[in-house]
A and B are shown apart, each in its own frame.
Chain A
Amino acid sequence: MGRVAGKKLFSIMALCAMIGLLLLPIVVSLPSLAIGADAPDAVKKEGAATVEKGRDVYYKTEGIVVGAPAPKTVDGPRDYPRYNFESRVLLWFANQQHLYYGSFVLAVPIFCMVIEFMGVVTKDKAMSKRYDQLAHDFIKISLTAYSLTAILGGILIFTFLTLYPAFFGYLSSIFRPVMHIYALMFVAESGTLYIYYYGWDKMTDGFLKWIHLSMSVVLNVIGTLLMFLANSWIGFMMSPAGVDEQGRYLGNIWHVIHTALWNPLNVHRILGNMAFGGGVVAAYAAYKFLASKTDEDRAHYDWMGYIAMALGVAFLIPLPFAGYWLMREVYAYRQQMGITLMGGLLAWLFIIQATMIGILFLSTNYYLWQALGRMRGAEKYQRYIKYLVFVLCCGFLVFITPHTIVMTPAELKAMGGQQHPVLGNYGVMSAKNGGINVIITTTILSFVWYMRGNKVSTVSWSKFGNIFMGVFFGCAYVNIIWLAIYGYYIPANVRVGLSVPQVATTLSCLFFMFPLNAAMMKGAKQMGAIEWGKISVRSQYALIMLATAFTWMMGLMGYIRSSVRLFWHVNEIMRDNSPWAYTHTVGFAANMISFNVLFFWVSILFVFWLGSLGMKKAPVEVKAGVPGGAPQPAGGH
């Protein structure tokens, strides 16, 4: 009894320590945050004559100048020291690898939190252990990747310092307090992660398990805040605020952090990280599935792949909407930037991005259709898949139609002008919004089919429920397509606003149809068990495709976001005067992204291998009945 009480005390103390670590950077930074308020007094003491006021380029507020102007760099060893190689490409590589790993180590603890929570609330003891084991295995992989993230972060900073000293000097002069908070947050993240990981076996049951779960919440809060702080730097580079036209800091650190694009970037990145993490884990499971030699292992990795895919896709579904919001804010911030991205210089990269998004959803749907194959009784849905393919195909074709078409002058002449009467209509946002919403709604429909694959509803209102669901989805499609067409006939600001009802329609399918389906399937008659492991190998390639497409798309979007600044280090504040202040060709960018993707996958395989060296074996009692005894989350796909 005394030992248990001691453990409880220890656990609570550990949790308090974590919260303390979380609050530490904020407490330490309080004087720094107040610099904006203190600075005027300090300046006043030196005499009124020295006070110089500046106007915030974004907030348009007046503030007292407390920083130096942005340096006017010149090409040479002082501002741009270099090797016999393009410095920008070196920085690109270091940055991208750090981002890949950073995203992974931020996403996996969130996964662990969700999976551990599922384990805690699941009544089935065997399943509970299995979830717990899965979460533990992943945090272990995350631990190895965490070290690599820190190393890559160091490499990135050294690359900045040695190749872009003037730019980094300016950035750190503006973000001085934020960078210190960031460093302290990193310490807090590390401490919390280690306590969380090493405390796993000490806190296995009851109250202690809840304490442990709370630690994962604290860990993820710290991780998310870390990411938000890092986002403030890139937000500042794209849409600077808190400085005057010369780039002089005006003393308000909140203005510098809270730029026009900070919040959209935060939302987009957190969703992106989660979907990316899900993809990587699913690909890992797929690889292990394909390499498995026993039915037991195949069942385990099939299940793992499914869980990771489902979690990843849960965040993938809202991701295009977050992206849309980000682009809307970009347009609202600078029309010039928006046009460069979507209609001008970088438009073709956006088409590639649309293609990647389409591939993600197509892969997801394909996986789900394949997954129907491991359920007995799901055959009734399979003959309708061709219609889903057609709908997806139409949505995809519209979504990837380019606005800027690549063509020879002869084709241009044959077309009779720059605008094609069909493609011109598909190539604009109104149609594309319709396209992507159709794709997402179809993905939701595939999920609903999967969830009811091997079941027959026994509720008295099942016929009504089925008709209602059919009508609901039908109306959703009609509404999405109708709004897409209607968008051509109304002012642009209203048209942009139409995305709200379109998104609402799609999300209502998700939020109303899932619970309705779950209610209908409560106590449903099982036509057959889910035979984990008995899924086609094509499904596993779909998972690998999902992850690869995601990694590639992340690299692409990072490049697009960065290159939209064109020849600016900090947009309209600090000009890039290095010899590399030009935009790469599409081909070079694609090759570079592919190289980054390849490097990441090779290195992450190494991390997985390291992680697998100390991987615990799954509990015997759980594995005993595989495939029948393998996880059968019949009620909770």
Chain B
Amino acid sequence: MKALMSVAALIGAAGILLLAAMTVGIVPSNTVRLLEGYMPVQVVFELILFVAGFTGISYMMAAMGMAFPRFWQGILMWTFVILYLKFRIYPPIPFSVRAMYGAVSLVCVFMWVSANEEDWKKFKQPIMNVLDAKTGGIRILRYAYLIILPLLIGGFSYNAMVPKSEEPIELRTVHPAPPASTKVHGKTYTLQTSQNPYRVNLEGKYDQDYSNAMTVEQGMGRLMKPNANPWDKDAQGYLKYVREGGEIFYQNCHFCHGDNLNGRGLHAFAFNPIPANFTDPGTIAQLQETFIFWRVSKGGIGLPNEAAPWASVMPPWEQHLTVDEIWKVVLFEYWHTGYYPRTWD
């Protein structure tokens, strides 16, 4: 147990030092990089390591007769989480989410330090000491708190309420709700039941499983399957339509949505927000193909009222493309990202 805790303490100390050095710039901030695509798991893994490290350090200090007070353990743990979220994770997390995470972490720290009577007594002891103020020094500290705490609270309140020149927060919906049906080039499509006419097998029948087997594979990057190359001159059926969709995409869409469909096209950064990143699991991977068909056809201007603020300048592509071309582009987007459209079978 002691050996295990020593290793944990060593990892914890090294991790904290490295993180601090990266944050203040003593070592390059990308020494330990967060890898795109693996970030979510990496973040959890790092937090587990840090908690193990803290436990080890705490254990070792107690074993050496220098037990760290529970009160400061709690405060430091919470401060660490806040700083980690603020400085470690890049791109930066918006304040609203950091506030949520911070509040939950605070509650969890409280649950930890008050889980049993003994710990709770240890935790509140310094607070009680200050309130009791039995020595002159602590009495001064109490008066200092009496002045500093209201000032801090007042300062935060003032800062929160004072009018600022920055743009206001927007409660923008990422996925505006689609209508039940949409009319494109004179034909009505029911979004719940319509299907992409080009998602077909070699016999020309609609076949989701067949097309799913042909999409690129996701791993370290996205890899095309050797037997499913749309640019093969002999490619037929689904793969041929993917190629045609790709040609339409690169003629019309990639300027904004990017070569890799990640929303970072040539013109992307002229907009805020930049165009949708189709490679993110939160976009087309969550939606039915008909949703994309509707969004592409109607563009930003065709979004429903309840989807405001729209913040989308995508043109209504029904004015420039045929229905077949739109379906093929949608087909290509799913193929290229390696995602499968949502179905309910």
Q: Which residues of A contact B (CB under 8 A)?
A: 331-332, 334-337, 339-340, 343-345, 347-348, 355, 358, 362, 365-366, 369-370, 372-373, 379, 382, 385-386, 389-390, 392-394, 396-397, 400-431, 485, 488-493, 536, 538, 566, 572, 583, 586
Which of B40, B92, B104, B342 has a CB less than 8 Å from the CB of A492?
A: B342
Q: Which residue of B lies closest to A363 (CB)?
A: B111
Determine whether the beta carbon of A417 is less than 8 Å from that of B175: no
Contact between B92 and A415, CB atoms less than 8 A apart:
yes
A492 to B36, CA, bound (A): 22
Q: Which residues of B contact A489 (CB under 8 A)?
A: 218
A492 touches B180 (CB 8 A): no
- Give min CB distance, B182 to chain A, whole Å: 11
From the candidates B41, B111, B280, name the one contacting A362 in the complex (CB within 8 A).
Answer: B111
Interface residues of B in 253-305 (CB under 8 A from A): 263-264, 272-274, 276-277, 280-283, 285-288, 290-291
The answer to the question of B66 belonging to the interface, with a C-beta cut-off of 8 Å to chain A, is no
State whether the Cβ of B170 lies closer than 8 Å to any Cβ in chain A.
Answer: yes
10 additional contacts, CB 8 Å, given A339-B175, A416-B91, A420-B93? A334-B180, A335-B290, A335-B342, A344-B175, A400-B104, A405-B94, A419-B263, A424-B281, A492-B286, A536-B120
Which residues does chain B contribute within 8 Å of A424, judged by CB atoms? Answer: 280-282
Also in contact, A344 and B104, with CB within 8 A (given A421-B91, A493-B345):
no
Contact between B192 and A404, CB atoms less than 8 A apart: no
Cβ-defined contact, A369 with B116, below 8 A: yes
The answer for the CA separation of A425 and B285 in the assembled complex, in Å, is 11
Which residues of A have CB within 8 Å of B27? none
Q: A402 vs B95: C-alpha distance in the bound complex, in angstroms?
A: 13
Q: Is B235 an interface residue (CB 8 A)?
A: no
CB<8 Å pairs between A and B, sample of 24: A336-B177, A336-B179, A343-B173, A344-B173, A344-B177, A344-B306, A362-B107, A373-B117, A382-B116, A385-B115, A397-B104, A404-B171, A404-B175, A405-B94, A405-B97, A406-B96, A407-B95, A409-B167, A414-B91, A415-B94, A417-B277, A424-B282, A425-B39, A586-B171
Task: Say yes or no: is B43 at the interface (Cβ < 8 Å to chain A).
Answer: yes
Q: Please, how many angstroms separate the alpha-carbon atoms of A331 and B345 in the complex?
A: 12
**Min distance, Cβ B5 to any Cβ of chain A, angstroms:** 13
* Given known contacts A416-B274, A417-B273, A492-B286, A358 and B93 CB-to-CB distance under 8 angstroms: no
Q: Does the CB pair A335–B39 fall under 8 Å? A: no
Interface size class of B (residues with CB under 8 A): 35 or more
Which residues of A have CB within 8 Å of B180?
334, 336, 572
With a 10 A CB-CB cut-off, give which of B34, B105, B282 has the most chain A CB atoms: B282
Complex CA gap A372/B116 in Å reads 8
Interface string of B106-119 (1 = CB under 8 A from A): 01100110111101
Residues B274 and A422 in contact, CB atoms below 8 Å apart: no
Shortest Cβ distance from A564 into chain B, in angstroms?
A: 9
From A343, A370, A386, A403, name the one whose CB has the most chain B CB atoms within 10 angstroms. Answer: A386
Q: How far is the CB of B230 from chain A (nearest CB, A)?
A: 20
Report how far A379 CA is from B116 CA in the complex, Å: 9
| Pairwise interchain contact B105-A393, C-beta atoms closer than 8 A | yes
A491 to B214, CA, bound (A): 13
Residues of A within 8 A of B12 (CB): none
Given contacts A332-B344, A386-B112, A586-B171, contact A428 B282 (CB under 8 A): yes
A414 pairs with B177, CB closer than 8 A: no
Tell me whether A400 and B100 are in contact (CB under 8 A).
yes
The smallest beta-carbon distance between B343 and chain A, in angstroms, is 5
Measured between beta carbons, the chain B residues less than 8 angstroms from A392 are 108
| Docked-complex contact A419 and B169, CB < 8 angstroms | no
The 8 closest A-B pairs by CB, nearest first: A491-B340, A343-B175, A407-B94, A492-B342, A419-B280, A340-B177, A393-B108, A425-B40
Interfacial chain A residues near B89, Cβ < 8 Å: 422
Q: How far is the CA of A328 from the CA of B167 in the complex (A)?
A: 37
| A96→B149 CA distance, assembly (Å) | 41
B208 contacts partner chain A, Cβ-Cβ < 8 Å: yes
Assess the B218–A403 pair: CB atoms within 8 A: no
B210 contacts the other chain (CB 8 A): no
In the bound assembly, the distance between CA atoms of A423 and B341 in angstroms comes to: 21
Q: How far is the CA of A403 from the CA of B283 in the complex (A)?
A: 10
Q: Are B291 and A406 in contact (CB under 8 A)?
A: no
**B131 interfacial by beta-carbon distance below 8 Å:** no
Nearest CB on A from B156, distance (A):
18
Smallest Cβ distance from B291 to chain A, in angstroms? Answer: 7
The reply to whether B208 and A404 contact each other, CB–CB distance below 8 Å, is no
Within the complex, what minimum Cβ distance (angstroms) separates B176 from chain A?
6
CB distance from B167 to the nearest CB of A (A): 4
Nearest A residue to B208 via CB reads: A491
CB of B17 to closest CB in A, whole Å:
22
Docked-complex contact B274 and A417, CB < 8 angstroms: yes
Contact B340 A411 (CB under 8 A): no
Tell me the smallest distance from the CB of A521 to a CB of chain B, in Å: 22
A421-B343 in contact (CB<8A): no
Which listed residue (B178, B212, B276, B280) contacts A491, Cβ 8 A? Answer: B212
Which of B36, B92, B108, B171 has a CB less than 8 Å from the CB of A411?
Answer: B92
Residues of A within 8 A of B178 (CB): 335-336, 339
Instruction: With both chains docked as a complex, state the minimum distance between the C-beta of B99 and any C-beta of chain A, in angstroms.
Output: 10
Which single residue of chain B is at the shortest CB-CB distance from A402? Answer: B97
Q: Determine the distance from Cα of A382 to Cα of B118 in the docked complex, in whole angstroms.
A: 10
Is B143 engaged at the interface, CB distance under 8 Å to the other chain? no
Please determine whether A382 and B171 come into contact, CB atoms closer than 8 angstroms: no
